[in-house]
């Protein structure tokens, strides 16, 4: 449980005030815009496909963040003439994979909706 709380705290610091709500505001601002304007601003999509007379543009991103471990502490107990030292706590470093996939739905050259999935779909205000 402590590891999960520490990880959440560290990730919060890494992303700062970036939130999914801010990301959704940006995505919503694109509804009604043209496909051409989106491609000019975001670049070419990593994937596109058509279904049901609609076009879908998919943008993907991924990255890894290394979270360093924490050093253990040590306690020493003396029993008679012998000292015993024990390691307490400490955590190993770990890599965290972050990704975001955003899909825009286009109808008649205009963006009509969007959706996202992933653990890194955030933006700063």
| Euclidean distance between CA atoms 110 and 33, whole angstroms | 6
Size (the chain), residues: 125
| Structural domain contains residue 33 | yes
| Structural domain contains residue 125 | no
The parent domain of residue 81 ranges over 2-118
| Euclidean distance between CA atoms 27 and 121, whole angstroms | 11
| Structural domain contains residue 42 | yes
* Neighbouring-strand partners of residue 56: 49, 105
Residue pair 94/67 in contact (Cβ under 8 Å)? The answer is yes
| Structural domain contains residue 31 | yes
19: left (phi over 0), alpha (psi -120 to 50) or beta: beta
And the tokens for 28?
């919503």
Q: What is the pLDDT of residues 65-123, one digit of tens each?
A: 999 999 999 999 999 999 999 999 999 999 999 999 999 999 999 999 999 999 999 99
| Structural domain contains residue 19 | yes
Which of 36, 28, 29, 27 shows the shortest CA–CA distance to 55? 36
Question: Per-residue pLDDT for 15 more than 50?
Answer: no
| Euclidean distance between CA atoms 58 and 24, whole angstroms | 16
The pTM for the full model equals: 0.72
| Euclidean distance between CA atoms 35 and 51, whole angstroms | 16
| Structural domain contains residue 57 | yes
Pairing outcome for strands 73-79 and 110-118: unpaired
Residue pair 117/58 in contact (Cβ under 8 Å)? The answer is no
| Structural domain contains residue 123 | no
Number of domains in the chain: 1
| Structural domain contains residue 98 | yes
Rounded to the nearest integer, the mean pLDDT of the chain is: 89
């Amino acid at each position: 449980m402590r590891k999960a709380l520490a990880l959440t705290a560290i990730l919060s610091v890494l992303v700062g005030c970036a939130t999914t709500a801010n990301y959704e505001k940006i995505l919503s601002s694109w509804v009604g815009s043209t496909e051409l304007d989106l491609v000019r601003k975001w670049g070419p999509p990593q994937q596109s496909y058509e279904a049901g007379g609609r076009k879908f543009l998919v943008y993907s991103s991924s990255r890894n963040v290394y979270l360093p471990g924490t050093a253990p502490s040590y306690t020493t107990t003396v029993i008679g003439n012998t000292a015993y030292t024990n390691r307490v706590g400490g955590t190993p470093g770990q890599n965290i994979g972050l990704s975001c996939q955003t899909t825009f739905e286009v109808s008649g050259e205009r963006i009509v909706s969007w959706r996202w999935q992933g653990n890194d779909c955030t933006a700063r205000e």
